């Protein structure tokens, strides 16, 4: 497939708002792609370039991208920025710029999907001192060969947001439809393979194999996630529940084959080098090949330390030893996904737990209590808080491990305000002494690959934190308009609120009342922020609690 055709498909999809229509359209394209193109198309259409398990990253920020475009159209970066600011969308502005240039250039070389992907691979592979220059040359070459419409989608792909509404769920449905396969099989295979591109290929080649896919060590799978809930409701729904402490640390996945150990963060980045003490603890704790799931916790004098300490260890790349002396971390393992070649994902939690206890040294296993009555569970909750933990996790004993799913099979219970994890997609310059920083931030939920605004947060942030946030976000500015800037969505905020309201002011249809900044979720990626569906569910629950029957808009 030519990249131009891909761009035309994207343009067509951009004009469609109905989910079913989108799925239908994509499903008709998939069968016509060859084996090399299919996985690439599937990832591209979601706005992703590499498989989710892959550590590869493009490493191209807005500035480098604008420099490349400026060079190709024969202008300065500032002109590119101005064009983007005027339109408010990098893709459309770059398309315009290329259209103006096109009148003067004679020749563009056709690019097909595979070639563009291979160029992206080269961009990602550029490392070391001269990497920025190398990346720049490659990105220039891509734009030099791009027709205006191709430029729109090249830019958006590189910025990580295609804006056509094909999220993972829709693509999964499109694959199922294209190859006439039960969507649950696709979902299952995706859980283990963590790359819908490869799943699509398998769906076409050997649908039977989809039910037999196994997890491969050193290809991290997405972490299973939890919904907020209550002990009482979970017991009422399931009878018996498995209660564990909810540690205030950072999630990790530990892979071991023979003597080789690797650790992945919640965002599936490899962090082995930062956590030699965890490798030391767990490497010796089992003779088996395993994939374990757990939380890294910082401790001091036997008491857990807050999450911020742990995250500093995860981020540390240099002088790890010095940091190790300052912050001691220990693993708390609560699940096992793989043992000696066998994938355990589909086994019930209690069985996985039994296996975990058989193969791993007890010292590293997080305690688990099976209870049937709310009073016992409440007692464990109180004990967890007394011990300095965040609360408890209440899990369904018969549940499989569902990678990446934030369902009710795991429910988190913790005291305090309700918070949401939201993507930061824009900001506004501050005033007075805050004039050189951003003073408020525009936040968004995700909905099938789109980020939809739900409100702004300006409260709860000290000047010192504002300065840090400015340093964190200043290079992500995509466009400016008056006092407002659009940001490349990269950072996740945890935000407290008093109430969710239906609101026509924001594209999501909802707004937060009294939003308050709680912190940056450095362990979370933008693809993990609250979904619109979950927000609507919270809104519904809130209205039930408040006794008002107003329906979702
Ligand atoms: P949250 O980040 O608030 O959505 O809460 C879910 C997170 O709690 C998980 O991703 C883990 O990092 C963490 N966690 C702490 N203790 C446990 C536990 N016993 N089981 C599962 N997750 C846990």
Task: Tell me the CA–centroid distance for residue 247 and ligand 1, in Å.
Answer: 7
Average pLDDT, the chain: 92
Instruction: Report residue 229: phi and psi, to 5°.
Output: -170, -165
Task: Give yes or no for residue 547 having a pLDDT over 90.
Answer: no
123-144 residue pLDDT tens: 999 988 889 999 999 999 999 9
Active-site annotation holder among 101, 246, 456, 524:
246
What is the distance in A from the centroid of ligand 1 to the CA of 390?
9
Residue nearest to ligand 1 atom 6, measured at CA: 226
Ligand 1 near 247 CB (within 6 A): yes
Give helix then strand counts, H and E, for the chain: 20, 20
Locus of tokens 């007075």: 432
**246's tokens:** 């909810």
The predicted model gives 471-484 an average pLDDT of: 88
Atom 17 of ligand 1 has which residue's CA nearest to it? 246
Q: Is the CB of 412 under 6 A from ligand 1?
A: yes
Q: How far is the CA of 310 from the centre of ligand 1 (A)?
A: 14
DSSP H or E stretch at residue 553: none
Q: Quick check: CB of 380 below 6 Å from ligand 1?
A: no
Nearest CA to ligand 1 atom 11: 251
Ligand 1 in contact with 251 (CB < 6 A)? yes
Give 49-73 pLDDT, tens digit per residue. Answer: 999 999 899 999 899 999 999 999 9
Ligand 1 atom with least separation from CA of 250: 12
Q: Is residue 246 annotated as a catalytic residue, yes or no?
A: yes
3-state secondary structure 252-320: EEEEEECCEEEEEECCCCECHHHCHHHHHHHHCCCCCCEEEEEEEEEEECCEECCHHHHHHHHHCCCCH
Q: Tell me, what DSSP letter sits at residue 355?
A: H
Residue with tokens 């829709």: 170
226 Cβ inside 6 Å of ligand 1: yes
- Burial of 279: CB neighbours in 10 Å, binned 0-12, 13-18, 19+: middle
Instruction: Tell me if 334 CB under 6 Å of ligand 1.
Output: yes
Instruction: Please indicate whether residue 244, judged by its CB atom, sits closer than 6 Å to ligand 1.
Output: yes
How many angstroms does the Cα of residue 78 sit away from the middle of ligand 1?
44
Nearest residue by C-alpha to atom 5 in ligand 1: 226
- Measure 167 CA to ligand 1 centroid, in angstroms: 24
- In angstroms, what is the span from residue 246 Cα to ligand 1's centroid? 6
Q: Where are the beta strands (DSSP E) in 404-481?
A: 406-413, 419-429, 438-447, 450-457, 477-481
Rounded distance, CA 90 to CA 508, Å? 21
- List Cα–Cα distances, 294 to 270, 283, 332, 337, in angstroms: 15, 15, 5, 11
- Encode 426-447: b = buried (16+ Cβ within 10 Å), e = exposed: bbbbbeeebeebbbbbbbbbbb
Q: CB within 8 A of 377, min separation 6: which ones?
A: 231, 235, 241, 243, 369, 371, 392, 394
Predicted confidence band at 257 (pLDDT cuts at 50, 70, 90)?
very high
Ligand 1 pocket test, pick from 251, 380, 384, 391 with the greatest ligand atom count within 8 Å of Cβ, gives 251
Q: Report helix angle 168-178 to 19-29, nearest 10.
A: 50
Which mutation among 266, 397, 412 tests ligand 1's pocket best, with the greatest number of atoms within 8 A of CB? 412
Q: Is the pLDDT of residue 544 over 80?
A: no
Q: What is the DSSP letter of 122?
A: H
219, containing H or E segment? none
Length of the chain in terms of residues written: 553
Whether 524 is in the pocket of ligand 1, judged by its Cβ within 6 Å, is no
Give the closest residue to 314 by CA, choosing from 341, 299, 296, 326.
296
The percent of residues above 90 in pLDDT, for the chain, comes to 73
Alpha-carbon gap, residue 171 to 365, rounded angstroms: 37
pLDDT band at 316 (very low <50, low <70, confident <90, very high): confident
Question: Rounded to whole angstroms, how far apart are CA atoms 122 and 117?
Answer: 9
- 297 ligand 1 Cβ < 6 A: no
In this predicted structure, what is the pLDDT of residue 135?
96
* pLDDT, position 540: 87
Residue range 70-109, pLDDT digits in tens: 999 999 999 999 999 888 889 999 999 999 886 655 567 8
pLDDT at 549 over 50: no
The reported pTM is 0.83
Q: Which residue has the tokens 């793989």?
A: 338
pLDDT of residue 552: 47
Q: Could you tell me the pLDDT band of residue 118, with boundaries at 50, 70 and 90?
A: very high
Using a 6 Å cutoff on CB, does residue 246 contact ligand 1?
yes
Q: How far is the CA of 224 from the centre of ligand 1 (A)?
A: 9
Residue 16 CA, ligand 1 centroid: distance in Å: 37
Atom of ligand 1 minimally distant from the CA of 245? 19
CA 295 – ligand 1 centroid, Å: 7
DSSP notation for 132-168 = HHHHHHHHHHHHHT--HHHHHHHHHHHHT---S---H
Tell me how far apart the alpha carbons of residues 469 and 437 are, in angstroms, rounded to a whole number.
8
Helix (H) or strand (E) holding 516: strand 516-520
Closest among 409, 408, 504 to 454, alpha carbons compared: 504
Q: Whose CA is nearest to atom 1 of ligand 1?
A: 226
Higher pLDDT, 449 or 351: 351
Residue with tokens 């001691």: 328
Contacts of 92 (CB under 8 A, 6+ apart): 152
Q: What is the DSSP letter of 490?
A: -
Check if 187 has its Cβ closer than 6 Å to any atom of ligand 1: no
Ligand 1 pocket, residue 135 CB under 6 Å? no
Kindly state if the Cβ of 401 falls inside 6 Å of ligand 1.
Answer: no
Cβ of 242 closer than 6 Å to ligand 1, yes or no, is no
pLDDT digits (tens, 9 = 90+) for 397-437: 999 999 998 889 999 998 866 789 999 999 999 988 888 89
Q: Which atom of ligand 1 is nearest to the CA of 406?
A: 4
> Residue 327 carries which DSSP code?
S
Q: Are 445 and 451 in contact (CB under 8 A)?
A: yes
What would the two tokens of residue 381 be?
Answer: 């909750």
Specify whether the CB–CB gap between 62 and 159 falls below 8 A. yes
**In this predicted model, what pLDDT tens digit does every residue of 431-462 receive, in sequence order?**
888 888 999 999 999 998 889 999 999 988 88
Closest by CA to 359, choosing from 343, 345, 338, is 338
Q: Ligand 1 mean position to 334 CA, how many Å? A: 10
């Amino acid at each position: 497939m030519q990249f131009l055709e891909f761009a035309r498909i994207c343009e067509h999809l951009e004009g469609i708002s109905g989910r079913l229509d989108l799925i239908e359209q994509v499903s008709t394209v998939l069968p016509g792609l060859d084996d090399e193109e299919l996985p690439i198309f599937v990832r591209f259409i979601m706005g992703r370039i590499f498989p989710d398990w892959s550590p590869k990253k493009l490493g191209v920020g807005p500035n480098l991208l604008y420099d490349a475009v400026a060079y190709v159209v024969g202008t300065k970066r500032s002109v590119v920025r101005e064009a983007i600011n005027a339109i408010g969308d990098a893709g459309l502005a770059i398309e315009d710029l290329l259209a103006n240039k096109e009148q003067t250039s004679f020749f563009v070389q056709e690019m097909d999907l595979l070639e563009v992907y291979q160029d992206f691979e080269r961009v990602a592979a550029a490392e070391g001192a001269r990497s920025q220059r190398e990346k720049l040359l490659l990105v220039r070459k891509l734009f030099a060969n791009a027709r205006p419409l191709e430029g729109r989608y090249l830019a958006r792909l590189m910025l990580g947001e295609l804006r056509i509404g094909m999220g993972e769920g829709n693509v999964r449905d499109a694959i199922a439809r294209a190859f006439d396969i039960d969507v649950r099989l696709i979902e299952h295979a995706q859980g283990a393979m963590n790359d819908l591109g490869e799943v699509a290929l398998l769906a076409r080649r050997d649908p039977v194999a989809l039910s037999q896919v196994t997890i491969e060590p050193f290809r991290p799978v997405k972490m299973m996630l939890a919904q907020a809930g209550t002990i009482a409701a979970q017991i009422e729904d399931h009878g018996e529940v498995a209660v564990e402490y909810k540690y205030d640390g950072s999630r990790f996945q530990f892979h071991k084959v023979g003597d080789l150990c690797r650790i992945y963060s919640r965002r599936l980045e490899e962090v082995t080098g930062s956590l030699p003490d965890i490798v030391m603890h767990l490497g010796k704790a089992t003779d088996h090949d395993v994939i374990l799931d757990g939380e890294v916790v910082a401790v001091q004098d036997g008491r857990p330390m807050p999450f911020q300490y742990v995250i500093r260890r995860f981020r540390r790349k240099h002088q790890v030893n010095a940091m190790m002396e300052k912050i001691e971390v220990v693993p708390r393992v609560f699940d096992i996904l793989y043992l000696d070649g066998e994938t355990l994902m589909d086994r019930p939690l209690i069985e996985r737990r039994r296996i975990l206890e058989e193969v791993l040294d007890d010292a590293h296993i997080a305690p688990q209590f099976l209870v049937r009555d709310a009073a016992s569970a409440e007692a464990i909750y109180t004990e967890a808080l007394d011990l300095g933990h965040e609360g408890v996790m209440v899990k369904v004993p018969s549940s499989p491990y569902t990678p990446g799913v934030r369902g009710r099979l795991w429910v988190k219970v913790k005291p305090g305000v309700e918070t949401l994890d939201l993507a930061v997609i824009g900001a506004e310059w501050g005033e007075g002494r805050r004039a050189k920083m951003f003073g408020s931030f525009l936040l968004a939920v995700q909905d099938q690959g789109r980020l939809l605004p739900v409100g702004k947060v300006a409260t709860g942030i000290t000047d010192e934190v504002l300065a840090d946030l400015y340093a964190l976000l200043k290079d992500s500015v995509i466009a400016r308009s008056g006092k407002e800037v659009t940001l490349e969505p990269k950072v996740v905020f945890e935000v407290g609120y008093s109430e969710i309201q239906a609101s026509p002011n924001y594209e999501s249809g909802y707004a937060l009342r009294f939003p308050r900044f709680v912190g940056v979720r450095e362990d979370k990626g933008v693809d993990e922020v609250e979904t619109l569906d979950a927000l609507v569910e919270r809104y519904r629950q809130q209205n039930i609690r408040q006794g008002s029957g107003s329906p979702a808009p």
